[in-house]
Structure 1
Amino acid sequence: METQYRGKILWIDDEIDHLKPHILALEEKGYDIRTATNGSDGIAFAEDEPFHLALIDQFMAGMDGMETLRRLKESCPALPVVMITKSEEEWLMDEAISEQVEQFLIKPVNPSQVFMACKQVLEKHKIQEEKATSGYLQEFQDIESKLSSDPSFAGWWEIHNKLVKWQLNFDEHSDTGLGNILADQIQSANRAFIQFIENGYSNWVVGQNRPQMVHDTIPIAVAPKLNEGKKVCLLVLDCMRHDHFMTLMTELRSLFDIVIDPSLALLPSATPYSRNAIFSGMFPNEFCKKYPEQVEAMQQEKGVNRFEEIFLSDQLSRLDLANVKLHFKKIWKVSEGNNYQSHVGDYLDSDLMAIVVNFIDILAHARSESEVLQEMVPDESGYRSSVKTWFKNSWLLKVLKTLKETGFTVVITSDHGSIRVGKGVLVGADKETSSGIRYKMGRNLNCNEKHALIIRKPSDYGLPELVHQTNYLIAKDDVYFLYPNQQHRYEKKIKNSFQHGGISMDEMLVPLATLTPLT
């Protein structure tokens, strides 16, 4: 049986004659080995012909291994390197790591150690993709079984969490060929989730076996920490989906111990309703009744979130936390964020810092207006990547590091997520109807029930009557609403954009994460 070719390796060692058993063992495994007895020859070989991997001995006469490594990286920056040395000194390991060495082996090494190092470097991605493929295919049936078992809210969070995990996995291993199967399963799950929401939501409004919802954020996640005498920062990342938060974990887990609980966005899954609910601790019909000026703002669709600080102060008073020193801030622009980060020390004497950050929401809306952003964020994977890149280099991460160092407990959540829309659906409405793309508020609204949850009695859903005989339409699946006289003008512009306000797992199942500083 012919040995499978595994790659071409350059081995640089001034005692290469002593390594013949190792070379023969690698050749038997399918590697093509080229040897050099000094750094200069090795670099010359690498410049003349392509290699998949270099093995370099540290202690060589003339040019040593570290110098060889540096010069090799100058001419072949993408070539992965395994360093082999007799020394166990930490400074040498630090040097090698700083030069992006893939592996560090301590002599004496046996042939199997060298083989395993080569295999890990050269075949890691392939092995991980194969594992991802087999892992998802095994879990596919488990998810299908859970979908057919009438899951509870906790069950839906578990399903969503699993699907998000595989989306992130496939972001890293895009050659599995299973992306379409996963997308179909997510679509199927969303249809079942719509039934779950339609069947249960009106009961939850009156408190029957209600899941944790976004208006529970302060009493459940913030107030208990304040009562324990801890300083707390509530960070609301507007429009952050669960998969977005999971991409931030790479940076956060080195700073905090993180516990993630599920939370359910309100209907409509949009900022005027869900974010005001977080700060007021109420369903929308309740905060509109208590604060009549909010009704006017929502009727005019202007300044719909301008009372949030008042809402929060009042909620703290109802929770017997009126004496808490509160700092409240909303940040829309990068310049505002940078300025905030430079002055964050001025606010650290607060008991509660509440910060709203709008970047993720702004990115979603700006994408539909910009061809450049549509190229950068073509789909959900691109959206996750953009959020991750922003956060890694953002003022916000610097603020979080400061909060960690000063002992703040940080609660991170979102008011709602978003979904990429694909199907335009015509609705009948009058001129007073709201402008939402995934939800409509007005009167005499008409739409096929297949495409929208039609709410004729708003109070059953905890919603206000903003006009006489108010109706609401809440989009299902990946639907977006169009008016007949504007169909051709807006259909192409809106299709494939990220929108919110409707019923889907990505819009409604949001993380409520409690971050405790690592010591």
Structure 2
Amino acid sequence: MRNYEILWADDEIDLLKPHILFLNNKGYNVTGVNSGSDALDEMKKSVFDVVFLDENMPGLTGLETLAEIKTHHPNVPVVMITKSEEEHIMEEAIGAKIADYLIKPLNPNQILLSVKKILDNKRLVTEKTNMSYQQDFRNISSAVNENLDFQEWIDVYKKMVYWELEIDDTEERAMAEVLNMQKDEANSEFCDFITANYASWLNDPNGEKPLLSHRIMREQVFPLLEEKKPVFFFLIDNLRYDQWEILEPIISEYYNVEKEVPFYATLPTTTAYSRNSIFSGMLPDEMAKKHSDIWISEDGEEGKNMQEEEFLRRNLKRNNHDISFSYHKILQKQQGRQLVTNINNLLNNDLNAVVYNFIDVLSHARTDMKMIRELAPDEPAYRSLTLSWFKHSTLLELLQILSQKDVKVIITTDHGTIRVKRPYKIVGDKKTNTNLRYKVGKNLNVDNTEGVFICRNPEELHLPKENVSSSYIFGMKDDFFVYPNNYNHFVNYYKDTFQHGGISMEEMIVPLIHLTPKS
């Protein structure tokens, strides 16, 4: 590790020699000067990693010197040192984006802590994170190989998401590959868990089961209507748990997380099935039977997410909720802008459902556009694009406005996505659907049945059966289906893209968050 260069400006610099010697002995090179002007001159000649500034110096004051440094060297961290505890001085210094604020008399360890916090932060965080993950690695691996229930799988997945985000913040990300291997192993076990238990969740009325898509409205949203406050239900399409975790710090500036209710998205993990299940309050086969006038089958040419408002209307009526509600789908920024403008009218409704489609659009754009794929080559970059969108979105504007109102807010999603890597050859007729993570049709065949979940009796999974010989095949882990024709071309085109519809922790275990405005 190289020696860091520190510039220390204080009109009593000679009295600080014990502190300077202490830092020298710790491996830091310290240059001392007597004034703000001298400090600025030194910075013209040499490069410094951090600057210590006494606030009360003759000539240029510490705050004046700070302003000059930030003008010409905006990225150099500055520590303000002062005898004064006056609030306005602290506020000015903090407003000028200082790195730390120390009050005299100083002690050596206080200075060392400030330096390490600024200069060695990344290295220390990296070392601590890697060590902590290595310690937890065995616990996670041991848990994955046990007979976990649905709640324990949620806990394991959330823990892996936690480490994924922690490792993102380290310098070398040395443990990222190890974590990816562990997540792949966990997904194998999770897929076995789903194939063994999913049907019983749907068919055993007395069995233990997680919250599933079709019960969200009845169990999580409709009860809030009894509180006689406007309820805002925000559904962000394709929002994975890791993406929620990077949005939460921004949202928590305005809201308290009252309750977090992870749920399992129903199969297939797509808009036509899992999202329509949310709004209709029904499983897919029930939607197809009882709402045949608005249910769009796999071979239908219409969009399969065009009837969500009507599904919600009928769901409310079936549950005896005679209320005023609105439904909005935001595909473009202008639609979100209109919603912000119309916010006072929305407050007159008992329930407002708002679907934001950006992340879904992003995942498709990343598949189709080389530039987007280069902008988001991996998971951290994909999360970063999500965060950038949210910071500048009308969704954040809406949440900021609603944080000043007496309302109930829920943020959730319909399913997540996974980055697909392993192709599977599949054969089907011309009416077979186009989704890469699940297929439905007649006479479906794959070249290897070990890595897929084949459902020959759709009724068991409460899926529509459009023909006598219809079956469903689900991709598991990070698999995707490709037809033999032009096989290599399509493998290269779709490999490493974000897809959904199949079985994985990322697609099925998703967040539902109850928020209460802080104000």
Match of 2:347 in 1: 348
* Paired residue type of 1:424: P
Change (3 A) 1:301 1:205: farther
Report the secondary structure of 1:77's partner residue. coil
Given that 2:150 and 2:209 are in contact with CA atoms closer than 8 Å, whether structure 1 keeps it comes out as no
Q: Distance in 2 between matches of 1:97 and 1:298?
A: 58
Greater alpha carbon shift after TM alignment, 332-341 vs 412-421: 332-341
Distance 1:411 1:319 in 2: 20
Q: Which residue of 1 aligns with 2:420?
A: 421
**Equivalent pair of 2:299/2:431 in contact (CA under 8 Å):** no
* TM-superposition CA deviations, 1:185-225 (whole Å, max 9, x none): 00000000000100001111113322111111111211111
Within the candidate set 126, 151, 155, 1:154 is matched to 151
Would the aligned equivalents of 1:294 and 1:304 in 2 still touch at CA under 8 Å? no
Distance 1:467 1:489 in 2: 31
- Residues 181-220 of structure 1 correspond to what in structure 2 (within 5 A)? 181-206=178-203, 207=205, 208-220=207-219
Preserved contact between residue 418 and residue 498 of structure 2 (Cα < 8 Å): yes
Gaps of 5+ in 1: none
Whole-angstrom distance in 2 between the partners of 1:381 and 1:159: 20
Amino acid at match of 1:220: E
Tell me how far 1:6 sits from its aligned partner. 4.2
> 1:264 is matched with which residue?
264
Query: In the alignment, is residue 172 of structure 1 matched against residue 181 of structure 2?
Result: no
Would you say 1:73 and 2:86 are equivalent positions? no
Q: 1:398, CA displacement in angstroms? A: 0.5
| Counterpart residue type for residue 408 of structure 1 | V
Q: Distance in 2 between matches of 1:196 and 1:174?
A: 35
Which residue is 1:98 aligned to? 95
* Equivalent position amino acid for 1:65 in 2: G
Matched, 1:41 2:38: yes
1:54 matched to 2:33? The reply is: no
2:51 partner SS = strand
Q: SS where residue 368 of structure 1 aligns?
A: helix
User: What is the CA-CA distance between 1:497 and the residue it aligns to?
Assistant: 0.5
Aligned length, in residue pairs: 515
Q: 1:111 to 1:509 in 2, by over 3 A?
A: same
**2:487 counterpart residue number:** 487
Q: Any conservation in 2 of the 1:297–1:303 contact (CA below 8 Å)?
A: no
Q: Secondary structure at the match of 1:427?
A: strand
Q: Does residue 101 of structure 2 align to residue 120 of structure 1?
A: no
State the shift of 1:229 in Å.
2.1
Cα displacement string for residues 342-380 of structure 1 (whole angstroms, at most 9, x for unaligned residues): 222221111111001100000000111111111111111
**Under a length normalisation based on structure 1, what TM-score does the superposition of the two structures give?**
0.97
Moved more, 19-28 or 193-202: 19-28
Conserved 8 A contact 2:130-2:167: no
Deviation at 1:489, TM superposition (A): 3.2
Judged with a 3 Å threshold, the aligned counterparts in structure 2 of structure 1 residues 275 and 373 are, in CA distance, closer, same or farther, namely same
User: How far does the alpha carbon of each residue in 1:207-264 deviate from its partner, in whole angstroms, 9 at most, with x for none?
Assistant: 3322111111111211111112232111111111111111101111111111221100
Q: Secondary structure at the match of 1:266?
A: coil
- Written as runs of structure 1 = structure 2, the 5 A alignment for 1:357-436 is 357-436=356-435
Q: CA deviation at 1:406?
A: 1.2
8 Å contact kept, 1:9–1:32: yes
Q: Which residue of 2 aligns with 1:517?
A: 517
Q: Distance in 2 between matches of 1:40 and 1:438?
A: 65
Report the alpha carbon displacement of residue 5 of structure 1 after superposing the two structures with TM: 5.9
Secondary structure of 1:269 counterpart:
coil
Percent of residue pairs bearing the same amino acid type: 38
**Change beyond 3 A, Cα 1:256–1:149:** same
Conserved in 1, the CA contact under 8 Å of 2:6 and 2:29?
A: yes
Any conservation in 2 of the 1:295–1:466 contact (CA below 8 Å)? no
1:73-114 CA-to-partner distances (Å, cap 9, x unmatched) read: 222221111000112122211211121101001112122211
Q: Deviations over 1:9-49 (max 9, x none)?
A: 00001111121221122112221110111111111111211
1:354–1:112 CA distance, 2 compared to 1 (3 A): same
Deviation of residue 267 (structure 1)?
0.9
Q: Is 1:331 equivalent to 2:321 in the alignment?
A: no
Equivalent position of 1:273 in the other structure: 273
2: CA distance, partners of 1:228 / 1:151: 36
Aligned partner of 1:441 in structure 2 is 440
Cα-to-partner distance string for 1:266-307 (whole Å, 9 max, x where unaligned): 111111000000001111001111111344454315221222
Q: Distance in 2 between matches of 1:174 and 1:58?
A: 33
Q: Distance in 2 between matches of 1:405 and 1:238?
A: 26
State the distance in 2 between where 1:402 and 1:254 align.
13
- Asked if structure 2 preserves the Cα contact closer than 8 Å seen for 1:434 and 1:441, the reply is yes
Shift of 1:410: 0.9
Q: RMSD of aligned C-alpha atoms? A: 1.3
Q: Distance in 2 between matches of 1:301 and 1:196?
A: 35
In structure 2, give the amino acid aligned to 1:72.
I
Alpha-carbon distance between aligned partners in 2 of 1:174 and 1:121, rounded to the nearest angstrom? 14
Amino acid in the other structure paired with 2:477: D
Q: Which moved more, 1:12-21 or 1:183-192?
A: 12-21
- The match for 2:8 among 11, 15, 32 is 11
Measured in 2, the distance between the counterparts of 1:411 and 1:97 equals: 35
Partner of 2:444, secondary structure, is: coil
Moved more, 418-427 or 89-98: 89-98
Counterpart amino acid of residue 483 in structure 1: Y
SS across alignment from 1:516: strand
Aligned to 2:86: 89
Runs of 4+ deviating beyond 6 Å: none
Q: 1:290-348: per-residue Cα shift (whole Å, max 9, x none)? A: 11134445431522122211111221222221x22101111111222122222222211
For structure 1, which segment, 149-158 or 484-493, has the greater mean C-alpha deviation from structure 2 after superposition?
Answer: 484-493
